[in-house]
Structure 1
Amino acid sequence: MPTSNPYAIVHFIEKLMELKPQSILDVGPGFGKYGFLAREYLEVWFWRIKKSEWKIRIDCLEAYEPYISVVHKYIYDNIYIGDVREFPLHTLPNYDVIIFSDVIEHMEKDAGKKVLARLYDKADKAVLVSTPAEWYGATRGRSPDDFESHVCYWAPEEILTIYKNTEIIYSGSEKGKKTYLAVIKKDS
């Protein structure tokens, strides 16, 4: 399903506005929500309404090409297709901020650690990771691709153990709606 828990949205926007990125990579954009919100609050909010006025490069990397729509083609400067576990990230430029929202729980723990390390290396300011704050057990996705199954739970402490300069922000209060945003900042 090309969507994610809505409860962390306000925190994403606040952190993006605080970080003031000039470039963003949205990994696993799904419906394109965070790219759209980044455009709105980093461009349109400052009266850069027309695409020709936009100053921030916002790219995405989507594993499942059928999710790409006219929204993506309008919002994102570059759209890359591929599985982040295998995608040659070294061919891309560095980004101020990398968004990794509701993706890490779809891969095995070792693969998730490797991907997160590669994304951290490509980020100049921060990696924003959002994932469920509770484990409900493994689930199979209902979409025709194999990128939707939840296979692994990431406790916030696991990310804090690997990346010391991390802020954890919780949102959602009901079972099934709890999520957290890990703002993994680069060491200055």
Structure 2
Amino acid sequence: MQDLRPRRVLEVGIGHGKYGVLVREYLELPYERYTKSEWQLELIGIEVFAKYRNPLWDYAYNQVLVEDVRNVDLERLGRFDCCLLLDVVEHFDHDEGRFLLERLLNLCKCVIVSTPLKFEEQGAQFDNEHERHWSLWRRKDYRPYYFTYRKCGNCSVVVLSRNPLNPVLGQDSSGYLKLRQYLLKRLPGPAIKSICLVKSIGRGILSALPGATKKTAL
């Protein structure tokens, strides 16, 4: 996030607000913006469980919406440079999780996801039914997007985007993706249809290669 230098950040599932404090520490303090009146980054949070409210919410966030993100009109919040989805996506089934990622990527240049590497049974915690675990997310689940995938302890950390980021933030790529980009630039209009053939061939090649990290839809 420091490389990205975001001006607007959305965090979904802020919990007690610890990541909001870290955002301020790493994106404000290095630029000698020590007090809240000096902060320049706008940080918006969404949290479904009102009982998690505590003084960190008011300190670190410009605004916190106490709602289920599935019911939030995200469009009215405007566009963001980055979205944090940390220890959240496992609380949705895969269909709902993919739909949420699509919605967030419509508004945000990138989405940073962290989630456990192994499925861990978890029921309601702290009287919060939304703490239940419903899904396990693997590298293959992110292939429709540009992404960076890293293992960090018992979690994976993934940076997702629809388009290449500048800075790149170490994003993974694939031979098919590079070929697709080359053809889109070089081929005349009528010949673009031939990319459909390349697409089907490329998918077959990628599925046979170990460590393939991307599948892109035209």
* TM-score for the superposition, normalised by structure 1: 0.84
Q: CA deviation at 1:139?
A: 2.0
Moved beyond 4 Å, runs of 4+: none
2:16 to 31, 43, 61: 31
Q: Secondary structure at the residue paired with 1:95?
A: coil
AA aligned to 2:48 is A
Whichever structure has more helix as a proportion of its residues is 2
1:147-158 alignment, distance < 5 Å: 147-158=130-141
Give a deviation string over 1:29-58, Cα, whole Å, max 9, x none: 112111110101110121100111111001
1:117 aligns with 2:102: yes
Q: Distance in 1 between matches of 2:104 and 2:125?
A: 27
Percent of aligned pairs sharing the same letter: 32
AA aligned to 1:100 is L
AA aligned to 2:64 is I
Task: Check conservation: 2:18, 2:56, Cα contact below 8 A.
Answer: no
Q: Distance in 2 between matches of 1:17 and 1:142?
A: 33
AA aligned to 2:144 is I
1:96-175 alignment, distance < 5 Å: 96-123=81-108, 125-136=109-120, 138-159=121-142, 161-163=143-145, 165-172=146-153
Whichever structure has more strand as a proportion of its residues is 1
Aligned residues: 164
1:172-187 alignment, distance < 5 Å: 172=153, 178-187=154-163
Alignment correspondent of 1:66:
51
Q: Distance in 2 between matches of 1:45 and 1:32?
A: 20
> 5+ unaligned residues in a row in structure 1: which ranges?
1-15, 173-177
Q: Distance in 2 between matches of 1:135 and 1:145?
A: 19
CA RMSD of aligned residues (A): 1.1
> 5+ unaligned residues in a row in structure 2: which ranges?
165-218
Q: Secondary structure at the residue paired with 1:17?
A: coil
Q: CA deviation at 1:186?
A: 3.7
Q: Secondary structure at the residue paired with 1:20?
A: coil
Give a deviation string over 1:12-71, Cα, whole Å, max 9, x none: xxxx10111001011001121111101011101211001111110011001111111111
Structure of higher RCO (CA pairs closer than 8 Å, 6+ residues apart): 1
Structure whose CA Rg is larger: 2
